[in-house]
Amino acid sequence: MNGTPHQISLGGYLDVDKYRYVYFVVFLTLYLLILCCNFTIICLIWIHRNLHEPMYVFIAALSVNSLLLSTSTYPKLIADVLSSRQTVSRAACLLQYFIFYSLGGSDFLLLSAMAFDRYVSICKPLQYPTTMRTASVVVFLSLAWIVPACLVLVATVLTAKQKMCRLVLLGIFCNNSIQKLYCVLPRFFAVWGLFVLTNVTLIPVVFIIFTYIKIFMVTYRSCGEIRKKAAETCLPHLMVLISFSCLCGFDVIVARLESELSNAVRLIMSLQIVVYNPLFNPIIYGVKMKEIWKHIKRLLFCRRTRV
């Protein structure tokens, strides 16, 4: 079986024949909402010069990740529910796996960059212009996209070389559950997976927590205006971090306990992974970030007056 093309069956759906058009409407609606919300955030940040700051650039980068992740997932979900058989080729599955985890790692690194930006802005405001220059932002963005992609690429290549003993994936898209399809995975794969998890998830989360502790310590001793500024800019980041961390936990649970979970629970948890982050991130930033919300209200008001 090694080296030959395989069609992997996706066994995570419930009664596709019965609920085919319900699935279709739900997936299409979610995908269009995700595209609309994230494109709105990106366009507003691109158009308005007062949003050409590091913090908003990182928010736009998160929206780009959400668009890429959703585009790698939702069109396939929509096609699957309209098909008589829900299958995916081995190559396409590995590609989806690579995109899913490289962008997930990128999100954590982008959130780390945003935490550092807030730390310098609030705790060391005099150093902010020299620290968060355009060159610095470019470096942060490049590392956030390149490092996870390289690390996950190694894991993907290692996986692609292994022999498959199963061809039924208990999910609706390709995540860590694909490891259950292989006969034996080398020990190096587990070691590398732990290395990747540490560098693109655990270290960024620890760094974010550390920077926000420092921010809260500084704002606690500061005036009300600084506290208000910190709350307006830091709270959305923390909300996104907590949400994203919970969804990563769902991904681990689904992959590790898939055989012990009912089909309904597994489907609901899988859907949360591909819905919450891409859809709610732009909503959180659009509503909670004062400058972005100001432009959104102007956009809506102009449309209403024209109508």
Number of folded domains that form the chain: 1
Domain that holds residue 45: 7-306
* 3 state SS of 15: coil
Evaluate whether 80 touches 12 at the Cβ level (below 8 Å). Answer: no
Token look-up 């307006």 returns 232
Most trustworthy range by pLDDT among 23-37, 188-202, 228-242, 255-269:
23-37
Domain assignment of residue 75, yes or no: yes
The pLDDT value recorded for residue 158 is 86
Predicted confidence (pLDDT) at residue 64 exceeds the cutoff of 60: yes
Cα distances from 253 to residues 102, 106, 260, 262, 265, in angstroms, run 19, 21, 10, 13, 11
Predicted confidence (pLDDT) at residue 7 exceeds the cutoff of 70: yes
Interval 210-252: pLDDT, tens: 998 888 888 777 666 666 666 676 777 788 888 788 777 777 7
The pLDDT value recorded for residue 106 is 94
Predicted confidence (pLDDT) at residue 2 exceeds the cutoff of 50: no
CATH number at residue 44: 1.20.1070.10
Evaluate whether 97 touches 182 at the Cβ level (below 8 Å). Answer: no
Write down the pTM of the prediction: 0.87
Those residues with Cβ within 8 angstroms of residue 66's Cβ, 6 or more apart along the chain or in another chain: 34, 38, 277, 278, 279, 281, 282
Domain assignment of residue 256, yes or no: yes
CA separation for the pair 46, 109 (Å, rounded): 21
Domain assignment of residue 1, yes or no: no
Interval 133-183: pLDDT, tens: 999 999 999 999 999 999 999 989 988 888 888 888 888 888 888 888 888
- Max Cα distance, the chain (Å): 67
How confident is the model over 301-305, as a mean pLDDT?
Answer: 55
How confident is the model over 267-282, as a mean pLDDT?
Answer: 81
- H helices of the chain, where? 16-47, 54-71, 74-81, 90-123, 128-131, 134-160, 187-197, 203-220, 224-256, 263-288, 290-306
